[in-house]
Amino acid sequence: MSDNGMQKINEVIRRIRPMDPDLDRRVQARLDDQVMPLRALGRIQSLGKQVALIQGKERPEIRHKRIFTFAGDHGVVEEGVSAFPKAVTREMVRNFVRGGAGINVLARHAGAGVVVVDMGVDGDLLELSGIEHQKVARGTRNFTQGPAMTREQAVSAINIGISLAEKYGDQTDLIGTGDMGIGNTTPSSAMAAVLTDRPVAQVTGRGTGIGDEALQRKIRVIEKGIAVNQPDPSDPLDVLHKLGGFEIAGITGLILGAAARRIPVVIDGLISTAGALIAYTLAPQTAPYMIAAHRSVEIGHQVMLDRMGLQPLLDLNLRLGEGTGAALGFLIVEAGVKVLNEVLTFAEAGVSEKS
């Protein structure tokens, strides 16, 4: 399975193409000739161009938007790293299906659908309709005692994300990433420390709102997990399977699959960015296909964004996850596309240019 699974991942990576410099020049020429002072709408115009380059056309389209909320549980929760019990993961998945969570509200506001994916919830959700049942296992293992998952499980989870990009890709013009998993800021911070070569304390925040004592325990737990597993920072799959989560791996695969299909991906918060960093480390050419929705209050988030050269659109003190930041980011990305497509040039508008 691992060899075949890696073969598929490598095939997808090979399909991720660089942007067309000639198209870049043509789109920029139109933006520079629009009826306003040069680049007066700043990053809004840049976003429109980014989507055009990803889609490979001068007039990009965004008709169908989807946020993928990947759910999974984490064995490291037993170390007391979260303010909430593990049962909340499956309870929130049920709430997503009912449409009563933050992501449901903000996705409706953005005109986006939500695809809920059970990657590794520690509970039976088979009776729930309207979700993707893709469980790899009932949660990861406690990484203070050994690898969180096997390498084969990590590869399988990435391929699930790729398959979802393939399944929904023909009906989706803009993808957002999201997550649900009690305790998942712990593996995300652990991966951030290893992949950015930062001390654990510099990339570890309070997650669900833990106090000072629990934060220090969380830092010690991550340090122990890294010491026990000795992940290789030059091998992203080694880092992922030793420290990561099934939902994080699913996000990695979704990004790789979307980039291969030339679909822009709006990245949510800390956990989504950990998945994005694995995708980037596997395939640096994914970076132009990613748009960072926001900078969360988690201190490791900006560190990972910097590693990929991504600049967040928003800074609203968000720390929920689920894809909520991505939903808000959709509104700005769509604004950029509309500006590119609908603002007239000076000649088209019959307006005198700057003398």
User: CB of 261 within 8 A of CB of 165?
Assistant: yes
- Give the DSSP per-residue string, 233-297: TT-HHHHHHHH--HHHHHHHHHHHHHHHTT--EEE-SHHHHHHHHHHHHH-GGGGGGEEE-B--S
Alpha carbon distances (Å) from 163 to 72, 85, 142, 256, 336: 18, 31, 27, 10, 29
d(CA 281, CA 246): 18
Helix (H, G, I), strand (E, B) or coil at 40: coil
- For the annotated catalytic residues, the residue numbers are 322
Q: Which two structure tokens, joined as six digits, stand for 144?
A: 């203070």
Q: For residue 162, what are the β-bridge partners?
A: none
